Amino acid sequence: MELLDETPAMCYWIRELRIKKMLLVEPPEDSPLRCTWTYSYVFDSLVPRLERLNALVLHKWQDSIDMRPPSKYYLRIKGCLAKCRSIRNISFVDCFMDSSLVRILLSGLPNIESVSFVRSTCHFSPGDHDIHPMRRLRSMSYTARQHWVPGYGTPAQLATYGSLSRWMARHDAPQASADVFRLSIGNDLTDYNLDFIYDVKVLPVEEIAMGVSFKFLRELRPQDYARVDTYFALPSFPSLKKVYVVYAGPVQPKRVQEKFKKILPNLTARGIDVEVEQVKVKRKVWLRPILNSLIVGDL
């Protein structure tokens, strides 16, 4: 940061600040790391100097720090964030952070309008303590990727978002802010994938896309989808409006649609539409049994 010290005018032109792997825990007084990339340096000294800073990106923050009142960190950072009036957007990228730090970062910035979580996990429960609500918040996005990591990943991350969503609503976020979830799942109905569906059935998912691939309609067996159908019964997925079937194969989409309505009777009973989109492939292709990204629309 010597460059900013030597040329203070540069602070005026900085619009986005990316902070990667910041040291969150304060080092000892005699440490050579003192007054470098610690939390206190960033929020006490650096950010207030950037008068036109619009976006703050936190990358790979994985340490924890106690931000619950009345800790000294809570009191210090709350005062610092209140001065950062130019910041409108904050993003968490590949982060695994303590809940109390996430909450105060989201609520302490007075003019925050947009929040993004990208492949980040930040566990907390709503109502742990009362802090200033995000009254100006207009949009939030949450993107999670699930690879081959059994027992960990997207379900926990979606639960995180659900907690955050309920916390925001509790703190009087704009009523026009309606959560819109679009959920994509692969065609491999393993126990893990089914557990994933069970874990997120309480969230306000409005659309679900299911990938399937088969050559003959008889390969679409009701017993393979019996457990899935139970998850579509109320009160599960209370906001569900439509299920998309992305089908790779030669069978006519209309026949696939009729078959899915039969093997998922709870959808039919609730009047939920099932749409089939056929994708053309040059050779036999099995859609990868993977849970794709979760996309959250504007709040």
pLDDT tens-digit map of 135-180: 666 666 656 544 333 333 444 545 544 555 444 443 333 333 344 5
DSSP class of residue 145 equals -
| For the ranges 38-47, 124-133, 265-274, the one whose mean pLDDT is highest | 265-274
Residue 200: CA atoms inside 13 Å, Cβ hemisphere, count?
28
Q: Where along the chain do its domains lie?
A: 1-177, 178-299
CB 223 within 8 A of CB 215: no
Range with lowest mean pLDDT among 139-143, 169-173, 182-186, 281-285: 169-173
Q: How many other C-beta atoms lie within 10 A of the C-beta of residue 279?
A: 12
pTM above 0.85, yes or no: no
Average pLDDT of the segment spanning 215-220: 88
CATH number of 178-299: 3.40.50
Contact between 54 and 20 (Cβ < 8 Å)? no
Least confident of 47-61, 136-150, 252-266: 136-150
DSSP-derived secondary structure for 48-64: GG-TT--EEEEES----
